[in-house]
Amino acid sequence: MQPLDEMLIDCETLHGHICAGQLLGARMALLGCAAVGLNDPKRADRKKLIVWVEIDRCMADAVSAVTGARLGKRSLKYVDYGKVAATFLNTETNQAVRIVALESSRELADKRHPQVPSRSDRQFQTYREAKDSELFRIERVEVHYSELDAPGRPRSRVVCSRCGEGINDGREIRLSGDDQVVCRPCASGGYYYLKDFK
């Protein structure tokens, strides 16, 4: 495994800057991978590790940079819980851990380095030197995911009978009573709506 400072360079390259959230995410990724027996995830088979991140903030980019997990490779999953947490699964052993950043780590930074004027600088310094147990709670968990969620090529593809767009990996909705296969936005609305173009 690379030294932490080298990983932070990778984090900064991916994210665009380095910050306390990046450092916290990098340490979380190191801890999670070690806990499931993947001490060098970037060199391991990409299908051995799946990571679920629970927030779309700096930490998520750091986890991706350190582990090599990517949305496009289906090894990084995003679950919008708004929590600084991630779950790491070794697909070969089915070992999984969920790691949560402790709220007390913010207070720890203020207590340890009150002389540092910037809150983010206090956090960065504390997140670098604190013990894992001061920053994180680690929980052994069991993760249920289907073959349709696994990394690799799409397992299925169907076409929405309403909009004609393709749908991969079982994300379609089968309407009861009329055997129609539709996409989720056609079934129940999406984050976008169509406007007329002229």
Q: CA neighbours within 13 Å on the CB side: how many for 151?
A: 22
On the question of pLDDT at 129 being above 70, the answer is yes
Tokens 């779950």 belong to residue: 87
Question: Which pTM does this prediction carry?
Answer: 0.88
Percent of the chain at pLDDT exceeding 70: 95
Closest CA to 72 of 14, 154, 166: 154
Contacts of 50 (CB under 8 A, 6+ apart): 69, 74, 75, 76, 77, 88, 89, 91, 143, 145, 150, 151
Rounded to the nearest integer, the mean pLDDT of the chain is 89
Sorted by where each starts, the structural domains of the chain and their CATH numbers stand as: 4-149 (3.30.1330.130), 153-198 (no CATH)
Task: Write the pLDDT tens digit of every residue in 78-106.
Answer: 999 999 999 999 999 999 999 999 999 88
Contacts of 184 (CB under 8 A, 6+ apart): 171, 172, 173, 190
